[in-house]
């Protein structure tokens, strides 16, 4: 590969990492409260608000069931509003975040639901308020599950980020399509795939390691 292509590859990897990191961070920022709310707002629960729960649950499902490539196109006006443009790395972060938020919310919801209800009852018996129960019981106890969910989300985002390449989003997917596919350069395509595989492996290894460390004090007898 020519130095020019290597430069392009490095640039695209950087763009992909930026997009994924931004989308994962923003997705967690929005997804954490959403996930907590979804997990605790059913009838008879801590923050019981069954109607709000049903509405948010529907929105989350609707967003998640929309194919990502359609979502990207469908929210172009929203993307322009936020990023000022619908083309490029920064703009691509918007649909990525929109896709990551409900995904993370469901994963976080599931992790919180796994927390033993007895722990919530104990905290209530000691006079904890709903806020204290969330901060001192639910989040710390669900943390290993949340970290596993985050790992899964980052891996999915790497795949999604390659897709935004198809609509002018920059990053590795963009490079693969424009140079590898449209200009018939299989070595470029291969290089892009190899980098993506390496990235996914790295994320998976780090995420699993972290989740295991958080879990060690829980499972190890």
Retrieve residue 52's tokens.
């709000």
Retrieve residue 86's tokens.
């619908």
Give the interface with other proteins as residue ranges (CB under 8 A). Answer: 116, 118-119, 121-129, 132, 136-137, 140-141, 143, 217-221
CB of 103 to other proteins, least distance (A): 24
Closer to other proteins by CB, 124 or 178: give it.
Answer: 124
Closer to other proteins by CB, 121 or 208: give it.
Answer: 121
CA distances from 85 to 80, 88, 93, 118, 164 (A): 5, 8, 11, 50, 14
Closer to other proteins by CB, 126 or 184: give it.
Answer: 126
Q: Which among 34, 27, 70, 58 is positioned nearest to 156, based on CA atoms?
A: 27
CB of 131 to other proteins, least distance (A): 11
CB of 112 to other proteins, least distance (A): 13
Closer to other proteins by CB, 69 or 210: give it.
Answer: 210
CB of 213 to other proteins, least distance (A): 12
In the three-class reduction of DSSP (H, G, I as helix; E, B as strand; rest coil), residue 115 is classed as coil
CA distances from 163 to 70, 167, 180 (A): 11, 8, 14
């Amino acid at each position: 590969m020519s130095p020019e292509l290597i430069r392009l590859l490095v640039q695209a990897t950087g763009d992909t990492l930026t997009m994924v990191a931004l989308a994962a961070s923003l997705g967690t920022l929005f997804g954490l409260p959403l996930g907590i709310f979804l997990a605790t707002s059913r009838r008879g629960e801590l923050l019981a608000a069954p109607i709000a729960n049903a509405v948010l649950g529907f929105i989350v499902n609707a967003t998640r069931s929309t194919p990502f490539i359609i979502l990207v196109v469908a929210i172009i006006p929203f993307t322009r509003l936020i990023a000022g443009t619908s083309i490029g790395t920064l703009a691509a972060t918007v649909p990525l975040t929109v896709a990551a938020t409900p995904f993370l919310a469901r994963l976080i919801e599931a992790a919180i639901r796994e927390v033993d209800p007895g722990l919530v009852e104990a905290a209530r018996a000691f006079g904890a308020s709903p806020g204290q129960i969330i901060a001192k019981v639910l989040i710390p106890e669900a943390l290993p599950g949340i970290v596993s969910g985050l790992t899964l989300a980052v891996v999915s985002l790497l795949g999604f980020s390659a897709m935004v390449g198809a609509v002018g989003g920059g990053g590795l997917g963009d490079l693969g399509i424009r140079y590898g596919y449209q200009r018939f350069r299989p070595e470029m395509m291969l290089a892009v795939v190899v980098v993506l595989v390496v990235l996914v492996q790295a994320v998976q290894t780090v995420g699993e390691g972290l989740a295991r460390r958080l879990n060690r004090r829980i499972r190890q007898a």
